[in-house]
Amino acid sequence: MPTKFFVKIGLLYITGFLLLTSCSAEQNTSKKIKARPNILLIVADDLGFTDLGCYGSEIKTPNIDALAKQSLRLTSFCTGPTCSPTRGMLLTGVDAHRNGFGTMVDDWADNQLGLRGYEGYLNFDVVTFPKLLQDAGYHTSIAGKWHQGSPRKKEQWPFSRGFTRSFCLIPGGGGHFYDKQPFLSVIPESAYLQDSSLVGTLPKDFYSTKNYADKAIEYIDESVQADKPFFHFLSYTAPHWPLQVPDEFVDLYKGRYNDGYEALALERLDNGKKAGTIPANAALPPLSPNVIPWKELEPEEQQLASKSMEIYAAMIERLDHHTGRVIQHLKDIGEYENTLLIFMADNGAEGNSIMGYMGTREWVDTTFDNSLANIGKINSYVELGTGWAQVSSLPFKWYKAFATEGGVRAPAMFRYPKGKNIANTINHNFVSVLDLAPTFLELAGVQHPQTTYKGREIFPIQGTSMLPLLAGESKSVHPPEKVHAWELYGRRGLRKGKWKAEWMEPPYGNNEWELYDLEQDIAQQQNVAKQYPDKLKELINDWKEYEKTNEVTLPDRPTAYAKETIWLK
């Protein structure tokens, strides 16, 4: 009897010791995971280079401006020419021609159909960094625009690509209110998803910018409750067309733009120089050939254009407001100082007109009320316009959908609490959207698997970690002679040091390579190809190497979006 008693006591002691050891190990593991930094990535949709106060804008963006004072601000941060290629590169660190976005969905040329890298969705030749963070114990979430797959194929949704929680608009755009108004006539309605299900109805007070911020706060709180570090992707759909804002904010900028886009361009150029985001030697570029001078517009056309810009500005101000809410929430819950916080735009400003695309003009005219008094409200549908887009893209040439600087340069700022002497500083060296994935992985202490992930072959990361730059240990991410290249719709661009080579089809180019010295001519007004033929030849050879490495297939004909959406006089 005594022997059995002592055996039982011994077993109880051992069991208790093992339980205590297990709990202690779990607590230590939890603390170790929680000690890793959070990552909050905020992306604005089609926001131009000078659309923020800290980059020279007249638009009120006090919260983002305050963030800029604590951040490293970039003036040579480059994305893809349009949104889904940018997002694919951001999520994977792999070139668009490899990750599935060699062109936009439903805009294939005949010779691109069925090709690897031209699927029109984020393919499975890549692994996303959210998936790797999720594997490593991070709580990963996204709220806002997805644009990486089809509403009909769940394997292309965020929950299949590494997001623990998701609330997303699946296509590239849509109305910003509860009615789920599509952004193209050929789409029945804007499709939203939450996790692994489509969303039926939206609340009556739904406004995209507000509700995405609400979801960001909700998902961040979930990560805190789970005691896990988080990666959250706040993927706004503002200020993407259609331009809409809640009724109480329609008149925020009433009358502000009555002097026209030429006057605003002068103002922003001066403000950008004072802010240090535009070079002092930058000249005001002439109006693009598809922009009618303000004084030549009819009074009714001026009123329509002014009102459209007023709504665009109000959308950006509301975006700033709700960004401020999310940042304040991080402070309130004590997570701000352990969070790498990034604010960026996904490409240049939107100056293309969708009205010539797939019967959109007729659909807009018969479906919406675009009277002057109604512009910006739930049942209106207007775009920004070429003149204002050129102002938003200052001091660069062209805008979204071009491989020019105006198409691929975007505002970006990085707040890294552990960075030394980077707060309120501006860096003019080249950084690519491809560099974000390796930065986040290094910050989290996660290795990229390089060429194989869970039994499938994948492409390795092509970007470079920014962490030395953010830590204040380096002034640049890439050596000056590294080649960076873009292509979409056959339009090509290549950066190498101060040199930029570009190829565009008529009427934007002459089916020939052009060469620009960006140090002397950031607005790209002087083609110096004839003055520097050897340099141009060098860059063309660099392009051919890029083309071969990334299996680029140039379109054999102008595709519908590129041909029908950009109108010239």
Active site residues: 83, 147
Nearest to 307 by CA among 354, 352, 350, 258: 258
Residue 186, classed as helix, strand or coil, is coil
Beta strands 197-198 and 192-194 are: antiparallel
φ and ψ at residue 394, rounded to 5 degrees? -55, 145
- Neighbouring residues of 87: CB distance < 8 A, sequence distance ≥ 6: 43, 145, 147, 148, 235, 346
Per the DSSP assignment, residues forming a β-bridge with 343 are 42, 413
> Residue 568 CB: number of other CB atoms within 10 A?
10
Nearest to 176 by CA among 127, 237, 95, 231: 237
To 10 degrees, the CA torsion angle through 97, 99, 102, 106? 170
Encode 368-397: b = buried (16+ Cβ within 10 Å), e = exposed: bebeeeebbbbebbbbbbbbbbbbbbbbbb
Per the DSSP assignment, residues forming a β-bridge with 44 are 345
Q: DSSP character for 433?
A: G
> Chain centroid to CA 329: how far?
23
Distance CA(343)–CA(240), nearest Å, equals 16
**130 contacts 161 by C-beta, under 8 angstroms:** yes
Determine the residue type at 324.
G
- Neighbouring residues of 544: CB distance < 8 A, sequence distance ≥ 6: none
Per the DSSP assignment, residues forming a β-bridge with 425 are 72
Determine the residue type at 221.
D
> Residue 493 CB: number of other CB atoms within 10 A?
24
Length of the chain: 569
Per the DSSP assignment, residues forming a β-bridge with 431 are 77
Encode 471-484: b = buried (16+ Cβ within 10 Å), e = exposed: ebeeebbbeeeebb
Beta strands 409-415 and 339-345 are: antiparallel
**304 contacts 257 by C-beta, under 8 angstroms:** no
**501 contacts 509 by C-beta, under 8 angstroms:** no
Q: DSSP character for 512?
A: S
